[in-house]
Amino acid sequence: MPVAPARPAPVTPVPDGAITVRVLPAPAYVELRDGAQLVNCDLLVTNTSAADWTLTDLQVSVFDRGGTLGFRKFLNGSGVSPSITTIPNRELAAGKSVLVINPLYDLPRDLELGKLRFELTYARTAGEQQMSATAEVSPIVYANHARLKLPIRGRFIVWDGHDFLAHHRRWDYVFEPIRALGFDSNFMRYSYDLIPIDEAGAMVHGDEANNASWLGFGAPIYAPAAGTIVAVVDDRPDDRQLDMAALKADLLAVFGNYVVLDHGHGEVSVFGHIQQRSAKVKVGARVAAGQVLAAIGASGSSLMPHLHYQLQTTPTGHAEGLPSYFVDFTRIRGRKRIKVPVGQIDSGDLIVH
């Protein structure tokens, strides 16, 4: 039986608009996956009042294109382990902003997503006031212009993708230490860490601290579609270390060595953590789909040798991420092999390509 959470009663007026909410990025995209529609967006909440507040309720209402309500989902304080506590940054200090990674992202596939309305309710941290703020978005189903193939071949695992728990999705660019570095968007919003594996699923044979023990170290990276090379860095060592000095001049230095490939139509591929001195292309080169670009390495902020791949809107670290669908691969499901003509991959997937 649902347990109604205690609600404070307003006792003094609160200025209208003291808490505001924006849905980011704009536009927000719908990603289609395994019978669900995923809306990967953030809620930027700003407190212009002189008081501190705590988030107590969050709901999303979904309307079709005719404006009729078709679905509603909640997080609140009900129960002994309330769902609202799954949001880590519920405290909203006076004069500050926080980024709430949208936890109500997973929606039925048969639902028409004309408009999503988010409503957030805050209670006064010290006191008995409460207030609500709303924001609306009409998300767009994204379809790639480029016909993308996966950038590595053989058997691999999506070690971390961009599902709700993935570190790529949970990139808090409002968090002061991150913002101070110059980040102002989530260019990794739809990215993947890809690691080659053997038939048993092992990623490494031997000492994990030795790059050469990893099955993917030095494996070729292929262009997923045709395009023009717009950036290449491959002089940094495969030491799994972030160069903070380089990051101040170039946000993509978080990837150590990298290649950036512009496919046109506002779609740009980034290949991160490539092996030192492995680049086979130069800036300005026109490359074909399937052409070898570089090799998998462990440069930059890398826990292990792997390929970080993402599609984004522009060639810089100020871009926004874009969904990416790939053609002609096989998804491993135990003994099953599921051929996918066109589809998406994400955290935990075992793939053969």
Question: Is residue 146 one of the residues assigned to a domain?
Answer: no
Question: Is residue 149 one of the residues assigned to a domain?
Answer: no
What are the average pLDDT values for consecutive 10-residue runs of the chain, which has 353 residues? 51 67 97 94 96 97 98 96 96 97 97 98 89 96 97 98 97 95 97 98 98 98 98 98 94 98 98 98 98 98 98 98 98 97 97 97
Question: Is residue 39 one of the residues assigned to a domain?
Answer: yes
Verify that 114 and 176 share a domain, yes or no: no
Question: Can you give the residue range of the structural domain that contains 297?
Answer: 155-352
Count of domains forming the chain: 2
Strand partners, 59: 74, 119
Verify that 130 and 261 share a domain, yes or no: no
DSSP string, 218-268: T-EEE-SS-EEEEEEE--S-SS----HHHHHH-GGGGGSSEEEEEEETTEE
Verify that 179 and 129 share a domain, yes or no: no
In this predicted structure, what is the pLDDT of residue 128?
81
In this predicted structure, what is the pLDDT of residue 13?
47
Question: Is residue 64 one of the residues assigned to a domain?
Answer: yes
CATH of the domain at 310: 2.70.70.10
Verify that 46 and 173 share a domain, yes or no: no
Verify that 115 and 242 share a domain, yes or no: no
In this predicted structure, what is the pLDDT of residue 281?
98
Element (H, E) at 178: helix 176-179
Verify that 247 and 279 share a domain, yes or no: yes
